[in-house]
Amino acid sequence: MKTQLLYLALFFLCKDIIAQNPAAIDPSFIYTTGANSNVTKIKLQNDNKIILAGAFTTYNGVSANQIIRLYPTGSKDNSFNSGSGVSGVGSFIHAIAIQSDGKILIGGDFSIYNGTPANYIARLNSNGTIDTTFQTGVGANYKVLTIDVLQSGKILIGGYFFHILL
């Protein structure tokens, strides 16, 4: 009985210690209204800039069509311009991967990126513009849900598609 009480006391003691030490919120991070809809992906770049993607159209009251890049302080990086962002089909970004050269791969449920056809997958230059040298042919035939870049530079994608037409 004494052993059970000791375990119970230790459990509550440890619970209180953990509860009193949550992750600290960074007061220097600028966050007012945030995204006006779901943020589904967050990626940290090597330079500590933060890429957010999802179903939102504004972030902190500023236009941000489904993708935005923030400085580590939370303010918008104006050198990243997604223009009209993704559109067509469900207009939603499900996946982000960052290549070693700083280019950004996005996948999801879209058929256009900033006015350029991009069936479910696109590669962006570091400034947010579409990389027209990334040849996907017609693209995937349905949603891309995940993207990963191997150390060799090869790109893996997964999702609900059956094929990619090159």
Residue 2 has pLDDT above 80, yes or no: no
| Average of per-residue pLDDT across 47-57 | 92
Kindly list the domain boundaries of the chain, sorted by start residue: 26-165
| Average of per-residue pLDDT across 135-145 | 80
Q: What is the pLDDT of residues 67-119, one digit of tens each?
A: 999 999 999 999 999 999 998 878 889 999 999 999 999 999 999 999 999 88
Q: What is the pLDDT of residues 3-45, one digit of tens each?
A: 443 343 334 444 444 444 456 777 777 777 889 998 989 999 9
| Average of per-residue pLDDT across 124-152 | 89
Q: How far is Cα of residue 84 from the mean position of the Cα atoms in its chain?
A: 17
> What local confidence, expressed as pLDDT, does residue 99 receive?
95
> What local confidence, expressed as pLDDT, does residue 154 receive?
92
Q: Which two tokens stand for residue 59?
A: 């972030």
Across the strands, what pairs with 165? 139
| DSSP line for 9-58 | HHHHHHHHHHHTSPPPP-TTS--SS-BSS-EEEEEE-TTS-EEEEES-SE
